């Protein structure tokens, strides 16, 4: 075990027993007695009140008030950590092995009452997400380390659904998890600009010797959201969309993360949004097809044309497949 693990184990043994000798600690942990003395000194230096009693029945013990307190985390904190671990696991957290070790250690070093309480709360708490792609773990780990160390990467990337691959030299500024997908926000040397890249479209990563420094005021979260949501400072570049339909469909549209931010006006069966032309031309037609005849686009006219275009392509595709 590492030094930290041994110190934690000593603290736990001191909490479990009223008094224990250095030899008993050494035998229990299968370490040299000199190491026990070093770990005890380190615990005392960190503020743990360990008392050494001399004599025939002597040994090490903790002050009474510490023996009755929880180990590092109280019950609410332990429960929160176990629940948070479930969220992280379902999101495809790339350091899952380390996370599981931490939770196992947390459960191992609790008293029986705390352990029973954790199990009760853990059983009644579930998170359902799409099954994470474990093949991304190596990329996510490499990206996270490069973000922390400021290391430039060479990335082979598949843009969109195109077959062709591009090699990019990037400075990763951060990782973002959004709607079941992982993204890295990075400065792209090819485009000379900051871009977001989907991790599941990365085909290959190589760490270079080059280093970079992320701008002090840069926020990956803010950058990502700004590129998703309408830029209200450029009102003249936003277009108005008017959609009418069944009240349940209108409510569902307004609850969507993108459209909810873009509402200008709404009634029971009609809503007005303001979005930029790129979103209207690419994302919106495909999304609205999910509602079928429950909604109808009133304006702009070119959005109706985009819907017809998407449907025509689908019809042509399946007719061709049928003939083949």
Residue 130, in any domain of the structure: no
Mean pLDDT calculated for residue range 101-118: 79
Model confidence at 71: pLDDT above 60: no
Residues 57 and 81 in one domain: no
Evaluate the CA torsion angle 297, 302, 304, 307 in order and state its sign.
negative
Which residues have C-beta within 8 Å of that of residue 42, sequence separation ≥ 6? Answer: 3, 7
* pLDDT: which is higher, 141 or 55: 141
- Please say which residue of 67, 87, 105 terminates a domain: 67
Q: Who has greater pLDDT, 176 or 105? A: 176
Q: Is residue 129 part of a domain?
A: no
Residues 8 and 59 in one domain: yes
Q: For residue 265, is it within any domain?
A: yes
Q: Determine the Cα–Cα distance for residues 259 and 272; give it in Å rounded to an integer.
A: 10
Residue 282: pLDDT above 70? Answer: yes
Same domain? For 255 and 287 the reply is: yes
CATH of the domain at 41: 1.10.10.10
**Closest CA relative to residue 256, chosen from 283, 278, 234, 296:** 283
Within-domain flag for 108: yes
Cis peptide before 300 (omega within 30 of 0): yes
Q: Are 146 and 195 members of one domain?
A: yes
66 pLDDT more than 80:
no
Two structure tokens written together for 211: 């280093």
**Where does a domain end: 45, 67, 89?**
67
Q: What is the mean pLDDT of the chain?
A: 87
Query: How many angstroms separate the CA atoms of 274 and 235, rounded?
Result: 8
Q: Is the pLDDT of residue 97 over 80?
A: yes
**Residue 290 domain boundaries:** 231-320
What is residue 193's predicted lDDT score, i.e. its pLDDT? 95
Report the percent of the chain where pLDDT is more than 90.
Answer: 44
Report the predicted TM-score, pTM, of the whole model to 2 decimal places: 0.65
Greater pLDDT, 125 or 196: 196
In a domain, 79, yes or no: yes
- Mark whether 271 and 311 lie in a shared domain: yes
Q: What average pLDDT does the segment 142-164 reach? A: 89
Tell me the average pLDDT across 181-210. 95
Answer whether residue 307 is part of any domain. Answer: yes
170 in the same domain as 110: no
Q: How many domains does the chain have?
A: 4
What is the radius of gyration, based on Cα positions, of the chain? 29
Residues 218 and 280 in one domain: no
Q: What is the DSSP letter of 94?
A: T
pLDDT of residue 67 exceeding 60: no
Residue 128 lies in a domain: no
Helix (H, G, I), strand (E, B) or coil at 77: helix
- Of the two residues 235 and 197, the one the predictor is more confident about is 197
Helix-, strand-, coil-residue percentages of the chain, each rounded to 5? 50, 25, 25
Q: Which of 226, 261, 280 is the last residue of a domain?
A: 226
Task: Answer yes or no: is pLDDT of 142 > 60.
Answer: yes
Residue 58 maps to a domain: yes
Residue 321 C-beta-side C-alpha neighbours within 13 Å = 6
**What is the pLDDT, as a whole number, of residue 10?**
86
Contact 149, 172 (CB under 8 A): no
Cα distances from 98 to residues 89, 119, 256, 306, in angstroms, run 11, 20, 35, 48
């Amino acid at each position: 075990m590492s030094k930290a693990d041994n110190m934690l184990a000593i603290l736990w043994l001191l909490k479990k027993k009223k008094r224990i000798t250095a030899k008993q600690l050494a035998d229990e942990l299968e370490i040299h007695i000199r190491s026990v003395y070093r770990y005890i000194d380190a615990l005392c230096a960190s503020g743990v009140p360990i008392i050494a009693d001399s004599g025939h029945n002597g040994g090490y013990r903790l002050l009474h008030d510490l023996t009755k307190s929880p180990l590092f985390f109280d019950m609410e904190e332990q429960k929160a950590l176990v629940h948070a671990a479930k969220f992280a696991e379902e999101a495809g957290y790339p350091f899952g092995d380390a996370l599981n070790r931490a939770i196992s250690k947390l459960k191992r070093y609790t008293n029986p009452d705390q352990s029973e309480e954790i199990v009760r709360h853990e059983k009644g708490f579930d998170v359902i997400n799409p099954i994470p792609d474990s093949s991304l773990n190596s990329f996510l780990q490499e990206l996270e380390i490069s973000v922390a160390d400021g290391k430039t990467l060479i990335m082979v990337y598949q843009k969109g659904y195109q077959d062709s691959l591009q090699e990019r030299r990037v400075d990763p500024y951060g990782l973002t998890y959004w709607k079941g997908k992982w993204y890295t926000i990075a400065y792209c040397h090819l485009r000379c600009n900051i871009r977001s890249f989907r991790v599941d479209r990365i085909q290959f990563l190589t760490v270079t010797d080059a280093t970079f420094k992320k701008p002090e005021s840069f926020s990956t979260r803010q950058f990502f959201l700004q590129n998703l949501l309408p830029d209200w400072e450029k009102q003249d570049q936003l277009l108005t969309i008017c959609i009418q339909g069944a009240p349940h469909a209108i409510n569902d549209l307004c609850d969507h993360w993108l459209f909810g931010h873009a509402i200008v006006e709404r009634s029971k069966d009609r809503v007005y949004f303001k979005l930029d032309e790129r979103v209207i031309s690419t994302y919106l037609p495909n999304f609205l097809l999910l509602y079928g005849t429950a909604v109808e686009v009133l304006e702009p006219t070119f959005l109706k044309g985009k819907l017809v275009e998407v449907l025509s392509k689908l019809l042509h595709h399946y007719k061709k497949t049928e003939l083949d």
